[in-house]
Amino acid sequence: MRYGFEVLVSLKAGLLDPQGKAVEGSLPALGWTNVSDVRVGKHIALTIEADDEDAARVQVAEMAERLLSNPVIEDFQILSASELGG
Amino acid sequence: MRYGFEVLVSLKAGLLDPQGKAVEGSLPALGWTNVSDVRVGKHIALTIEADDEDAARVQVAEMAERLLSNPVIEDFQILSASELGG
Amino acid sequence: MAQEQPLHRQLGLTDEEFGDIRQTLGRDPGSAELAMYAAMWSEHCSYKSSKVHLRSLPTEGSAVLVGPGEDAGAVDIGDGLAVVFKIESHSHPSAIEPYQGAATGVGGIVRDIISMGARPIALLDPLRFGPLDEARNRWLFEGVVAGIGGYGNCIGVPTVGGEVHFAGPHSSNPTINVMCVGVAPADRLVTSAMPVHEGSLMVLYGAATGRDGIGGVSVLASATLEEGAEASRPSVQIGDPFAEKLLIEASLELVERGLLEGLQDLGGAGLTCAVSESAARAGLGAELDLDAVPLREAGMEAFEILTSESQERMLAIVSPGKLVQVQAVCERWGLQGVVVAKTITGGGLTVRLGGEIVARVPARSLADEGPVYERPSAPPADLAERQEDDPTFATVTVKAEEAFFSVLASPNVASKRWVAEQYDAHVQHNTIAAAGGDAAVVRVDGTLRALALSSDGKGRFGHLDPYLGAAHAVAEAARNVACTGARPLAITNCLNFGNPERPEVMWQFTESIRGIADACRAFDTPVTGGNVSFYNESGDSAVWPTPVIGMLGLLADHRLRVRSGFRGPGTTIYQLGDTLPELGGSEFAEVVLQMISGKPPALELAHERALQQLLVDAAAGDLLVSAHDCGDGGLAIALAESAIAGDTGFAVTLPADAPWYVSLFSESASRVVVSVDEARIAAFEALVARAGVPLRRLGETGGPRISIDGALETTVEAAREAYESAIPTLLDA
Amino acid sequence: MSRGERVPRIGVVTFPGSLDDRDALHAVELMGAQGIPLWHADTDLQGVDAVILPGGFSYGDYLRTGALARFARIMDAVRAFADRGGPVLGICNGFQILCEAGMLPGALSRNDSLRFVCRPVSIRVETSGTPVTGRLLPGETVEIPIKHGEGRYVAGKEELRRIEGEGLVAFRYSGPDGVVDDARNPNGSVGNIAGVRNGSGNVVGLMPHPEHAVDPDVGPVGGQPLFASLLQYVGAGV
Ligand SMILES: Nc1ncnc2c1ncn2[C@@H]1O[C@H](COP(=O)(O)OP(=O)(O)O)[C@@H](O)[C@H]1O
Ligand SMILES: [Mg+2]
């Protein structure tokens, strides 16, 4: 069975996010003065072949832990899963 | 009223995603041979001050179009919105 | 409406061109065939508007190993080594996606160099944008610079030079050129002279082929971008510098191990161009099997696979006996290498998909027999009046000091450190001088030799007189190289122009070619290659006629190279060459007088050559402490830049018989500021006298002050501040 | 040849996308060692005396710098070598790889300017207790070029306290006079940290490129003392 997963990798709270800061900084010039707390993270979509969703989810979590994120500075979150058929 | 929004910016379908390709290519060496279609996108979280959610959503869409993405190569998608209180 | 147009017109072919195709085939072309012709006969790939004129460029020279006609030119630098270099434009993609447009431009020119069997050792990036006070221009500028760095830094080729200019006409038409220089053993160059045999295999290696860039650059660069060029958007591509780095190493290993009969990059017109050119050059035909092409997406149609301009792909021509080794090399570098075609006798190119024949055409008809146009040409109506209004005779009211600081802080003149610091200048451990001086100096690995590299365009001059503008560009490029002590050897050139279907653009083009040809003959620096970029206009604003010259110079011993900065107190400052009242098209006229008019300075090619020879001889005799040429901004800026670069002040006096603004800001050609040690003065002055080059003692170096007697008093620090902060300040706006 | 004179063999690993590998080999040879090219897919270090993970963009720096290279086959051998006390030097991308591999503390992230930066910087030596600082004294500065887009050193609060507390900081961005302040911080690194070492001091990484500051023919030579120290460390008796 094939499953689609989406993983969100974001900087740990408290760590400086220069990208977010830059976006926030450029907004007023475009007339948008009502935006704050901009944070930029990574969104990883992938398809995985597994017997069932739980097995798939376990592997995705392991991949996110070991490869997709760096625990020293990042947190990850499995956003969604969807069955894509066999 | 303050609202939290999440925007996903990803490369247009059909365009090469070098990051996704490189990640996918490295998985088998780690023993994960059952993963495909890896795509890496940008996830932007932000807080916006507006009268109501619709007004906020309209502005977020405009920001995504004009600043957060380049329509030439990227699509964006407003993932979620949540009310954060006044 | 495009939909109602017949297919050939939608693809950019004229009815006449369509007629030629039917004649060649003796039947109506199929859709795949039509797409192949449309791509190959596009302006970008066929040079149909420029071919006849390019023929008048001098391409012969004792040092030239490979002239125009191959992927890049090659020059003999002795010790059995060849330098391969070429410049190309990526302006159109960059105008709609600056980062990826510029990045993929770097990738393309680098593949031209490796397809000659040479290792890329340096990049230069001549760039032109609209004024930075417009937000969109800042976005383009920042994106392009980031893209060039993002790609170049990631493939391990140092970016050592280039130029950045700002002018109104570039607002909607940024001009993005990239030059790459490579080195190879002369006897190992991969050229079309190498015998390709019948039955040889064409191995496609590198990235998979996708739908991106269908009719990409070729179509994009063969028509003007209309407002909101929606239609052309999908043809912008994403560069993968990591794949390119693997491609470089794999390709060079294939060449070094002598496994190839030929090597082709996939650029404009993709597989169609690479296969038809390879076959045509070998006087053979080919059978191309599209089913073998690794695809990134399912269900791609024949015309898509044939014309896709997906990046980071190469085509190797291999004898069947060597296929296994070739594929092993690709494998080792993590690349997929598959046989997609086979050469056959007769000149036919047959293309199959799903077993079906989707195209059967003469290879030469695609590669060599495209249309050739001699388009009508006429000078712009307003040229005369443009030249009438000569700033040299305008009344100047500002004070010298104010003028000095406005010119020094003008983005065209000011420090480009903000750009250069975003490029890796050190990788490959041979960069002796990167951006900042007159020419970059790069040691040839493992030797005492060094290459001096400069890229120059004179858009403002060209706008006022395209012949002079082009000749000045060659002269300045050669002078820059000579200032380091290197002998100018040969050029490559990128011709950036508007719509060739307009007679005044065609006139600018032919005049520019004439200027390049005359200057190159005078300096004995033949043209080894280049690129033509037309249709750089939108609405009614075309870019100024801007040939960008990439000059290659050779230093026999890099230890004798000359710097552009003063070095400490007590050296004597001279001006070589005469200053005439020539403010036409000068930076001073634009910035201080708000005038872009008049006639550019005169250029005496014989004087220029004598000056350059003198610089080379003086350097060889170790007679110079510094040498810096007078370019944009004239003498005042040359002096200031030497002071800033060497952190050394100076005091000079100006001739009494000319107004200060002429002495300081005239942009008369063939002038260089040098500084000389006490002990060398006699020898230096004797050498200059023998060379018959005008010489004027200006003053002395030393101290923290900039003192131009009677005209202006300031400090090196103040000048540095204005010079360094100008562009960052504009970007923070 | 007496032990003191034997020419040390220094390995330089080439990963896919390594760029300064040839430069590192050139540098160690200039300094009198023998450079030994090592290949990412190999499992054996050919008995080298020290290992250098060079600069570049291994695997394109995709996902995160060093994130993919860390899993290269040769890294097991490098880790084992380090565990036995063998000297390992990570330069720029090599530093990033060592952090991703957990062989050095902290992580390297996008420069606060969001721009790649290539320029000479001064760095202050914080300890003589690394394979590349044995011939330098704490407080001494050397001028070396940086060239990176992701050199901002970061670590969690706790981690940082430990790193500073245990004296694991090897280099800080400073002025030529050794003064450490924000004005001399080219990328926003916490505490101006330019390089760190591991607890036992045999593994060290830094963002600046000493291999690009050894050859007098092309520029300043601020990197020479680091390589001289490395040669001494592996017993070349320099
Ligand atoms: N301005 C020019 N001067 C001299 N040769 C040129 C010029 N423009 C293009 N050429 C030559 O025409 C040939 C085709 O150019 P181009 O299509 O850019 O090559 P490629 O497709 O390999 O990039 C090359 O040999 C190039 O050097
Ligand atoms: Mg080519």
pLDDT tens-digit map of C506-548:
999 999 999 999 999 999 999 999 999 999 998 768 999 999 9
Lining residues, ligand 1, CB within 6 Å: C 45, 54, 57, 68-71, 88, 112, 267-268, 493, 495, 527, 529-532
Averaged pLDDT, D182-193: 97
Q: Which atom of ligand 1 is nearest to the CA of C273?
A: 21
pLDDT at C436: 84
Of D198, D101, D117, the C-alpha closest to D152 is: D117
Pick from A70, A74, A75, A76 the residue to mutate for testing the D interface (most D CBs within 10 Å). A70
pLDDT at residue C444 greater than cutoff 60: yes
Taking CA atoms, what residue in D is nearest to A16?
D112
Alpha-carbon span C404 to C630, nearest angstrom: 15
pTM (2 d.p.):
0.95
Residue of D92, D99, D148, D212 marked active site: D92
pLDDT at C622: 98
Averaged pLDDT, C205-226: 69
CA dist C80 to C70, C71, C183, C487, Å? 20, 21, 11, 18
Alpha-carbon span C457 to C495, nearest angstrom: 10
| Candidate from C40, C47, C508, C531 with most ligand 1 atoms within 8 A of CB, to mutate | C531
pLDDT, averaged across chain B: 93
pLDDT at C224: 56
Give the pLDDT band (50/70/90) at residue C552.
Answer: very high
- 3-class DSSP assignment, residue C205: strand
Instruction: Look at ligand 1, atom 22, and give the residue with the nearest C-alpha.
Output: C71
Cβ atoms C680, C627 nearer than 8 A: no
Is B63's CB within 8 Å of A32's CB? Answer: yes
Cβ atoms D101, D109 nearer than 8 A: no
Give the pLDDT band (50/70/90) at residue C218.
Answer: low
Residues of chain A falling short of pLDDT 50:
none
pLDDT at residue D27 greater than cutoff 90: yes
Residue whose token pair is 């000011």: C414
Q: Is D26 a catalytic residue?
A: no
pLDDT at residue C190 greater than cutoff 70: yes
Alpha-carbon span C230 to C222, nearest angstrom: 16
C203 Cα to the center of ligand 1, angstroms: 24
Instruction: Report the 10 Å Cβ neighbour count for B86.
Output: 6
Residue whose token pair is 């593994």: D203
Of C446, C408, C415, C451, the C-alpha closest to C433 is: C451
Alpha-carbon span D198 to D204, nearest angstrom: 7
Residues 21-80 of B with CB under 8 A from D: 22-23, 26, 29-30, 40
pLDDT at A84: 82
Q: Which two tokens stand for residue A4?
A: 């689609």
Reported as a single tens digit per residue, the pLDDT across C575-599 is 999 999 999 999 999 999 999 999 9
Averaged pLDDT, D21-45: 97
Alpha-carbon span C178 to C530, nearest angstrom: 11
Of C589, C558, C574, the C-alpha closest to C673 is: C574
Element (H, E) at D103: none
pLDDT at C193: 87
Cβ atoms C583, C568 nearer than 8 A: no
Q: Which ligand is nearest to the CA of C314?
A: 2
Of C693, C549, C546, the C-alpha closest to C608 is: C693
Instruction: Look at ligand 1, atom 6, and give the residue with the nearest C-alpha.
Output: C530
pLDDT at C466: 98
pLDDT at C228: 41
Reported as a single tens digit per residue, the pLDDT across C37-49 is 999 999 999 999 9
Give the pLDDT band (50/70/90) at residue B81.
Answer: confident
Averaged pLDDT, C406-417: 98
Alpha-carbon span C460 to C409, nearest angstrom: 18
Alpha-carbon span C142 to C157, nearest angstrom: 20
- For C309, what's the count of Cα atoms within 13 Å in the CB-facing half-sphere? 30
pLDDT at residue C230 greater than cutoff 70: no
Averaged pLDDT, D61-76: 95
pLDDT over 70, % of chain D: 97
pLDDT at residue C225 greater than cutoff 70: no
Give the pLDDT band (50/70/90) at residue C13.
Answer: very high
Alpha-carbon span C219 to C222, nearest angstrom: 5
Reported as a single tens digit per residue, the pLDDT across C465-522 is 999 999 999 999 999 999 999 999 999 999 999 999 999 999 999 999 999 999 999 9
Give the pLDDT band (50/70/90) at residue C227.
Answer: very low
pLDDT at D6: 84
Alpha-carbon span B16 to C107, nearest angstrom: 15
pLDDT at residue C234 greater than cutoff 90: no
Residue D126 near chain C (CB below 8 Å)? no
Contacts of D17 in chain C (CB under 8 A): 154, 242, 245-246
Averaged pLDDT, C166-184: 96
- 3-class DSSP assignment, residue D147: strand
Averaged pLDDT, C341-358: 96
Helices (H), C168-240: 216-220
Give the pLDDT band (50/70/90) at residue C212.
Answer: confident
Element (H, E) at C378: none
pLDDT at residue C700 greater than cutoff 90: yes
pLDDT at C222: 57
Residue type, A35: V
C192 Cα to the center of ligand 1, angstroms: 15
Averaged pLDDT, C374-400: 94
pLDDT at residue C418 greater than cutoff 90: yes
pLDDT at residue C223 greater than cutoff 60: no
pLDDT, averaged across chain C: 94
Averaged pLDDT, C224-230: 44
Give the pLDDT band (50/70/90) at residue D238.
Answer: very low
Alpha-carbon span C733 to C132, nearest angstrom: 9
Alpha-carbon span D127 to D138, nearest angstrom: 5
Instruction: Look at ligand 1, atom 24, and give the residue with the nearest C-alpha.
Output: C69
Pick from D28, D118, D207, D221 the residue to mutate for testing the C interface (most C CBs within 10 Å). D118
Q: What are phi and psi of D113, to 5 degrees?
A: -75, -10
Alpha-carbon span C165 to C175, nearest angstrom: 9
pLDDT at C16: 96
pLDDT at A80: 79
Query: What one-character-per-residue DSSP string does C100-119 give?
Result: HHHHHHHHHHHHHHHTTT-E
